[in-house]
Chain A
């Protein structure tokens, strides 16, 4: 270990910043957040830096650096682009045993500045000893992704109730179990959803009842169209938290990989023609796991509330007083459109977009076809492969021009994505002559023309 990580309490301490440019300003922002009194020595000082110094009740000296400025300082940061000055500052500080940081020059530093994830009061610093700043930033990105922005609020809540939990539970083991339940359960989720007040009330009640029991909970989560990078932070977090996961065919294998390793996996997928499990049984299964006190993840392709039957699943939970949350996902229409370079709306081509399920039951032609002919509206059919020729011929029959551009996006957002671009008239024959696999999404309208200019994915 080349450096010992320590956290510096700078509140009300005098710190010297040598330099008045952009980099010095950036460092001053951090010092300001930490409550330091900022003093700057530099011939010229940027306006924002002047303001920060003023706010911190420090001083600016419009001069060149000399060692007398070091007197009474707790930390020194040198942020000039003059090598000689940086070296002089470092030398003077080393002589005085004064902690010094020289920006972008680890050899001259006695303390280095880490990459920071700030969820105050929770603060994470990542350092690579100046060897691999890119790696440190990469780790920072990963942490930013996995630690929600509201995490600081959670830390505040925990510290606020720490004492009363200590009084309610005498054994350390009980306290640990209690906090584990709180931080992994509904109370934490309330905080992370921005309801800190309600979370505090729930926590208060849990402490009063000395409640160590774990309540079950259901997360109904949209997994998006397939690319694991299109998961939301919230989805990723809940996937790590669940003990049981119920998933279906539209959840791609790389996404399933990201679910907590030891979680129980239950396939409840439906395939056209061969239903593996009825919707009713899925609803009941969710309820039963939750009633056993489990944290249950219901992972669905796309968005749970857009042809995802999410409403039916939470209906039964609500009636049984099971806490649940619904997390929206990127719906297939958005994902496929983006990856195919087809804007769903465009001011010259389309002022509205309609999502329709193309999954037709045998002989079901119960669509208001005559409403679909408006040429300034983009039509998107989900699961339209089996009904493709019916859809195209019905639209033409009801007056939509046969040369209306139409695109069938196969396995959108996945590495295997294929864009089949044609017209209403010709698409069915085109698809017949190619091997096309579900899932597919059908986009019809003039916006499809933009694909030839905007196609970027896998180019």
Chain B
């Protein structure tokens, strides 16, 4: 065996790839191409088992995920590891749930790589706010209900700098990532900032996965709903009138099918519309 000349060694690179919200069908063609051409994959816990099942046989893939209170790797360690592997000439795919540039801390990993002179590229993914709301039939913007949408995270290592009074405006949809453990804080902040207690909310747990759950209610009950339904992460919280769209849609479908078959379809959406809120 001849040893490969140092300067002939192929240059490594890092692809920062979004895996989308969990459904393997929502993976992009580009993400799959990256997975297939990778020498090495590093993934975190938001990359679903169904997506991991698509990794080619024998492809080295390592879990570097973090879980609240039990960090397996620090962000700093991950950053160093992927740069090191790329510097050894490997094509490293850093696969992250959702979109790497929306609360994915992808920027930090990429900055480290770029400053080390490693070649990088980014493959966007369907972010949870988009995938999960679609799966729950809730449009993020809708004429007459919402003219804008804002994504925030309630989980940050540094102090959150959020302008709650701007967030509390009702002409937009608010999507809160990683907010389950801080439900009462979020509720209090929004109420204090003047948002109505009756503002419709939806909690979407395990969005775009087989075990997706949707819990509808109003802002005032946010904390209670999380507790009563024992909601666990991953989950997003959607706040705004667009949540009513789901109910409106279900009502339209129910009356259309009642028209055909005479069935009388009473469901959660209907209940929500008529539910009195504090």
Q: Which residues of A approach B to under 8 Å, CB–CB? A: 22, 26, 29-30, 116, 137, 140-141, 144-145, 148-150, 192-194, 224, 227-234, 236-237, 303-312, 314-315, 318-321, 326-331, 334-335, 337-339, 341-347, 351-357, 368, 371-372, 374, 376-377, 447, 450, 453-454, 456-457
Contacts and interface: CB of A to CB of B under 8 A. Distances in A.
Contact of A26 (B58, B156, B252): B58
A234 B124 contact: no
Contacts of A311: 139, 142-143, 242, 245
B140 A453 contact: no
Interface stretch (B39-47, B83-91, B112-120, B215-223): B112-120
Given A141-B36, A377-B163, A232 B153 contact: no
Residues of B contacting A: mostly: mixed
B236 interface: no
Interface size class of B (residues with CB under 8 A): 35 or more
Contacts of B253: 318-319, 321
B169 interface: yes
A214 B140 CA distance: 32
B78 interface: no
Given A303-B130, A355-B149, A344 B249 contact: no
A368 B105 CA distance: 29
B106 interface: yes
B121 interface: yes
B102 A450 contact: no
Nearest to A339: B122
Contact of B108 (A144, A148, A346): A346
Given A144-B54, A374-B166, A232 B25 contact: yes
Contacts of B257: 321
Given A306-B140, A346-B107, A354 B20 contact: no
17 contacts: A194-B209, A229-B33, A231-B29, A304-B134, A306-B140, A306-B141, A312-B142, A312-B143, A318-B249, A319-B256, A320-B256, A328-B135, A334-B18, A343-B107, A356-B147, A368-B169, A371-B169
Interface of B: 18, 20, 23-30, 32-33, 36, 50, 53-54, 56-58, 99-103, 105-108, 110-111, 114-115, 119-127, 130-131, 133-135, 137-143, 147-153, 156-158, 160-163, 165-167, 169, 171-172, 209-210, 242, 245, 248-249, 252-253, 255-257, 259-260
Nearest to B257: A321
B11 to A, nearest CB: 14
Contacts of B138: 305
B98 to A, nearest CB: 9
Nearest to A138: B36
Contact of A334 (B99, B114, B137): B99
Contacts of A315: 248-249, 252
Contact of A454 (B18, B107, B242): B107
Contacts of B105: 347
B163 A374 contact: yes
Nearest to A335: B124
A258 to B, nearest CB: 10
A226 to B, nearest CB: 12
A310 B18 CA distance: 24
B26 A233 contact: yes
